[in-house]
């Protein structure tokens, strides 16, 4: 089995967790890391996430390059990787896909694989890395037919070795679905947190906040830098998702104002159906 060197740019939750899990993959014989943040470099080294911290020029010599940085950073890095060798596989793991794919330089379109592992937590930085984060999670590969045959095979081999479930979509389809299932919940969580912070003092929040509030506001801990980029790249889909959410919220608000609790009950009953999908 051909041995490969893995290079990871971005050593936070996603990149760090991938590094930990990649250590159990037999065909990965070295893991090199790069991160613009000196603190992250130090933490990743101390935690043993990678074998060495190197610069982007050295990362270019790896067989597989993972871009685990905010989505605007992915686009910048792709232009710095225009001269990688023909056999190299460059995989981005951003939460949006269409804008990134459109920005891939033509010189390396065959090298490139657009992927979105559907996993993560609200925490960030190397200390947030979790071994097994990718186990039995879905990964969406977008517009894979535009990648080279070797790169397609390498991406499938890597994500299969990470014990992920592979799914295939067009980029525009992925971005619309992600807006409803991932991006909208994050922007709602930020809004819930801000609404409570504007109305309640710290003591009341700590005293009264139970499981429901904690669950709904958990995503508000997510990195603003990362999510600003996601919202910027997928704004038209996120706006549509918010407008659909506002319609549903207005129905419940109207039922409450009118004292129409049978209607409110019916809407809640309908929402219960969502859990049937997960069971």
How many Å apart are CA 159 and CA 138, to the nearest integer? 9
**Distance from C-alpha of 143 to C-alpha of 152, rounded to nearest angstrom:** 10
Query: Residue 225: its pLDDT value, please?
Result: 87
The conformation of residue 143, written as its DSSP 8-state character, comes to S
What average pLDDT does this structure show over 163-168? 97
For residue 71, is pLDDT > 80?
A: yes
Structural domains in the chain, CATH included, are 4-169 (3.40.50.720), 174-278 (1.10.3660.10)
Residue 1's pLDDT band, with cuts at 50, 70 and 90, is low
Residues 6+ apart with CB under 8 A from 218: 122, 189
Confidence band, pLDDT 50/70/90 cuts, at residue 212: confident
Q: What is the pLDDT of residue 206?
A: 77
253-263 pLDDT, tens per residue?
A: 999 999 999 99
Q: What span, in angstroms and rounded, lies between the C-alpha atoms of 181 and 138? A: 13
Closest CA to 1 of 165, 110, 153, 166: 153
- Percent of the chain exceeding pLDDT 90 equals 82
pTM over 0.85: yes
Residue 115 has pLDDT above 90, yes or no: yes
- Per-residue pLDDT tens over the stretch 118-165: 987 778 889 998 999 999 999 999 999 999 999 999 999 999 999 999
Q: 16 near 47, Cβ under 8 Å?
A: yes
DSSP-assigned states of every residue in 158-178: HHHHTTPEEEEE-HHHHHHHH
What pLDDT does 156 receive?
97
Flag whether pLDDT at 10 surpasses 60: yes
The whole-chain average pLDDT of the chain stands at 93
């Amino acid at each position: 089995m051909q041995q490969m060197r893995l290079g990871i740019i971005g050593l936070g939750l996603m990149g760090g967790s991938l590094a930990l899990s990649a250590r159990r993959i037999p065909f990965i014989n070295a893991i090199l890391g790069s991160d613009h943040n000196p603190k992250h470099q130090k933490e990743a080294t101390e935690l043993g996430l990678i074998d060495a911290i190197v610069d982007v020029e050295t990362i270019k010599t790896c067989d597989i390059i993972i871009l685990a940085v905010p989505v605007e950073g992915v686009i910048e890095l792709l232009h710095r990787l225009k001269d990688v060798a023909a056999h190299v596989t460059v995989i981005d793991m951003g939460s949006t896909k269409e804008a990134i794919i459109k920005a891939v330089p033509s010189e390396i379109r065959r090298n490139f694989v657009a992927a979105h592992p559907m996993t993560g937590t609200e925490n960030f930085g190397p200390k947030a890395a979790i071994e097994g984060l990718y186990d039995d999670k879905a990964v969406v590969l977008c517009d894979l037919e535009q990648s080279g045959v070797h790169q397609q095979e390498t991406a499938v081999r890597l994500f299969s070795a990470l014990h992920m479930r592979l799914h295939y979509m067009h980029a525009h389809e992925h971005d619309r679905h992600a807006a409803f299932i991932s991006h909208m919940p994050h922007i709602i969580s930020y809004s819930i947190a801000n609404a409570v912070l504007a109305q309640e003092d710290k003591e009341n929040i700590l005293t009264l906040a139970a499981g429901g509030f904690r669950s709904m506001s958990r995503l508000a801990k997510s990195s603003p830098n990362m999510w600003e980029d996601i919202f910027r790249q997928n704004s038209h889909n996120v706006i549509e998702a918010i407008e659909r959410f506002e319609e549903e919220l207005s129905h419940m608000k109207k039922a409450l104002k009118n004292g129409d609790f049978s209607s409110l009950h019916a809407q809640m009953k309908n929402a219960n159906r969502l859990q049937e999908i997960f069971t």
